[in-house]
Amino acid sequence: MEENFKLTNAVELKESLATKWQAPSNIALVKYWGKHGLQLPANPSISFTLDACRTITSVKASQGKHSFSISYDGEAIPEFAPKIEAYFKRIASYCPWIANYHFEIDTHNTFPHSSGIASSASSMAALSACVIDFESELTGVPLDYHKMSFLARLGSGSACRSLQGAAVLWGEHKDTEGSSNHYGIDKSELLHPIFRDFQDTILLVDKGEKVVSSTIGHDLMNGHAFAKARFEQAHENLTTLKKALEEGDLETFIKITESEALTLHAMMMTSHPYFILMKPQTLSIIEEIWAFRKETQIPVCFTLDAGANVHLLYPSEHKIAVGELINNKLDQYCQNSHYICDQIGTGAKKC
Ligand code: PMV
DSSP for 193-257, written as a single string: HHHHT-EEEEE-S--S--SS-HHHHHHTTTT-TTHHHHHHHHHHHHHHHHHHHHHT-HHHHHHHH
Whether 28 lines ligand 1, by a CB cut-off of 6 Å, is yes
For the CA of 157, the closest atom of ligand 1 is 1
What is the H or E stretch that residue 283 is in? helix 280-296
Give me the phi and psi of 237, to 5 degrees please.
-60, -35
The distance in angstroms from the start CA to the end CA of the chain is: 31
pLDDT, residue 257, reads 99
pLDDT, residue 133, reads 98
Q: Report the 10 Å Cβ neighbour count for 141.
A: 15
Whether 128 lines ligand 1, by a CB cut-off of 6 Å, is no
Give me the phi and psi of 148, to 5 degrees please.
-55, -45
Whether 156 lines ligand 1, by a CB cut-off of 6 Å, is yes
In the chain, the domains with their CATH numbers are 2-189 (3.30.230.10), 196-343 (3.30.70.890)
> Residue whose CA is closest, atom 6 of ligand 1?
158
Beta pairing partners, 97: none
Distances (CA, A) of 59 to 8, 64, 105, 122, 131: 24, 15, 5, 15, 9
pLDDT, residue 18, reads 98
pLDDT, residue 316, reads 98
The overall longest dimension of the chain from CA atoms, in Å, is 64
Burial of 114 (0-12, 13-18, 19+ CB in 10 A): exposed
> Residue whose CA is closest, atom 4 of ligand 1?
214
As a whole number of angstroms, the distance between CA 55 and CA 2 comes to: 27
pLDDT, residue 132, reads 98
Three-state DSSP at 93 gives: coil
pLDDT in tens, the chain (351 residues): 888 999 999 999 999 999 999 999 999 999 999 999 999 999 999 999 999 999 999 999 999 999 999 999 999 999 999 999 999 999 999 999 999 999 999 999 998 777 778 799 999 999 999 999 999 999 999 999 999 999 999 999 999 999 999 999 999 999 999 999 999 999 999 999 999 999 999 999 998 877 888 889 999 999 999 999 999 999 999 999 999 999 999 999 999 999 999 999 999 999 999 999 999 999 999 999 999 999 999 999 999 999 999 999 999 999 999 999 999 999 999 999 999 999 999 999 999
Give me the phi and psi of 222, to 5 degrees please.
-75, 120
As a whole number of angstroms, the distance between CA 119 and CA 53 comes to: 9
